[in-house]
Chains A and B, each alone.
Chain A
Amino acid sequence: MASTDIANVGEAQRTRGQSMSGKKRTRRGWLDRYSALLVGVVLVGAWQILVPLSGLSEFVLPTPLAIGKRIVSDASLLMAHTYVTLLEVVFGFAIGVLMGVPLALFIFYSKAFERAIYPILVGLQTVPKISLAPILVLYLGYGWAPKIVLAFLISFFPIVISTVVGLQSLDKNLVNLVRSMGANEWQTFFKLRLPAALPNIFGGFKVAVSLAVIGAVIGEYVAAERGLGYLQLQANSQFDTTLNFATVVTISALGVILYFIIDVIEARVSYKRDAGK
């Protein structure tokens, strides 16, 4: 029952998304649509031209072209380390979702639970997770575990908070409406509360996945034998600035790709309130 309802929502989003983008294309100009891309190209172009003109050596600041070439030539090396980091991020984030969403449900449904847990959660959020990295390494060693735990810890909070806020921000009258139709709490949740909270929940997921990348890389900085963070430290110690930058680009790309994967999933299951405006 729940799954069909969510599938319907996705259907709506898709058909609607198509008609909307069609309208936009005619209304907005080419320049308007690609303005961000254009600014990006100009900035990178300026970097490319200004580096040789300023007389900076490649060791200090490599050109974008050099970085690009290095990414291509060292693709297999970068991919091997990306794979490690990616798994850490995915596991950490997945645990964050699997624990964060149920915890948010407990906080939402139980006032006692909310009073007992919510303040502690907010208090813990003031602890910079990154500062736990050395301790986690101490406890969990050099392998996967501390990175996954760090990615989990850092992505957990935004998932819990956005889910709780999404559930709590529902108009009480809507609950009265479905109750007047004879809905039980199960139906109220799947027909009303969950679909209404999805935009918030996915907003939290997007923030969380970007943070999870940071968590995993920081974990690798502290102690690792593999992963993009490790690779970057290696490049650093060998004064290989080009590889260093190539790693930064790869880490960024990883974050962006994960963000868009969540965006695509959201488009399939959720429906934005403002899509038609």
Chain B
Amino acid sequence: MNVPIRSTGAAVEISRLSKVYETRENDEVVAIEKVDLRFEPGTFVAVVGPSGCGKSTMLSLLAGLTSASTGDIAIDGDVIRKPHPKIGVVFQSDLLLYWRTVLDNVLLPIEIKKLDLARFRLRAEELLAQVGLEGFGNKYPSELSGGMRQRVAICRALIQEPGLLLMDEPFGALDALTREQMIMDMQAMWLRVQNTVVFITHGIDEAVFLADRVLVMSPRPGRIDLDLKIDMPRPRQWSAIHENKEFHGYVRQIRDIFEARGVLVAH
């Protein structure tokens, strides 16, 4: 069960990164403006911000799915022009292929990269067991609950031992209870892997709970408003978090920023 899977985290270097979209009316929308960031290998970075602050654009850029207007992103020194082989992505919806079994869904990246399927099948089963889905390999996605499906999606992203795991509001579509469980499981999973994670979310609490570093983004144009180092020992206890003064201090700082920007308005 607790076989540690060490994958060396990737270093991420973002320099002078901007993204400008052109709308149909030929207006320009600045989604991200001149962002400079460096993520050390093995850091868990959470990005919080209101809707439309460009955080999903940021993820899309990191994934190599969209190209930057200016500036660039380097993963372990390689400037990316297309999806980097060291990344794994988890989206808000699980995006499982309904005609494939759970196991075949997890193995999809291996198939696409034409790697040795037999070797990775064992690892896929191991990963599924670690998220409590032992024996579910031959089931179909339609037979699984929302939380289970998202676990499968996470296994699929981890199968290729990504140095950089990108997560775009991965628990946003789940009910509150399942979300809590997933947050705890996410911590356990990450403690085994300790790769670099960029975790995009709306949830201030899950960001602070999971991350080494929380980046708060401002509404358009997207900039980094606050770069907050979370200094709490791990493993952190979700159940005890609401009595934790440190935790509340961090949450307070982030909320203050949102209130100052008018994202959260007190009545």
Q: Footprint of B on A, CB under 8 Å?
A: 8-9, 12, 16, 171, 173-174, 176-183, 187, 191-192, 195-196, 270-271, 273-277
**Chain B residues with CB under 8 A of A178:** 108, 112
Which among A12, A16, A177, A276 is the interface contact of B95 at CB below 8 angstroms? A177
Q: Any chain A CB within 8 A of the CB of B89?
A: yes
Assuming the contacts A182-B112, A276-B143, asked whether A173 and B63 have C-beta atoms less than 8 A apart, the reply is no
A182 touches B85 (CB 8 A): yes
B15 interface residue (CB < 8 Å to A) = no
How does the 8 Å CB contact mask read for B140-152 relative to A, with 1 for contact and 0 for none?
1011000000000
Sorting the interface of chain B by its residue count into under 10, 10 to 19, 20 to 34 or 35 or more gives: 20 to 34
Binding-face segment, B22-30, B98-106, B231-239, B256-264: B98-106
Measured in the bound complex, the distance between the Cα atoms of B65 and A177 in whole Å is: 9
Q: Does B132 contact A (CB under 8 A)?
A: no
> Is there an interface contact between A273 and B108, defined as CB atoms closer than 8 Å?
no
Contact B100 A8 (CB under 8 A): yes
Interface residues of B in 92-122 (CB under 8 A from A): 93, 95, 97-101, 104, 108-109, 111-113
Main secondary structure of the interface of A (DSSP, over half): helix
Task: Given A173-B91, A178-B112, A191-B112, output 6 extra A-B contacts at Cβ < 8 Å.
Answer: A180-B87, A182-B82, A195-B97, A196-B99, A276-B142, A276-B143
Residues on B lying within 8 angstroms of A by beta carbon are 60, 63-65, 82-83, 85, 87, 89, 91, 93, 95, 97-101, 104, 108-109, 111-113, 140, 142-143, 166
B56 smallest CB distance to A (angstroms): 11
- Chain B residues contacting A179 (CB-CB under 8 Å) are 65, 83
A273 CA to B100 CA, complexed, in Å: 11
Contact B65 A8 (CB under 8 A): no
B99 & A181 in contact (Cβ 8 Å cutoff)? no
Cβ contacts A to B, 22 pairs, < 8 Å = A8-B100, A9-B99, A12-B140, A174-B97, A176-B60, A176-B89, A178-B112, A179-B65, A180-B64, A180-B83, A180-B87, A181-B112, A182-B83, A182-B112, A191-B108, A191-B111, A191-B112, A192-B97, A195-B97, A196-B99, A271-B98, A275-B142
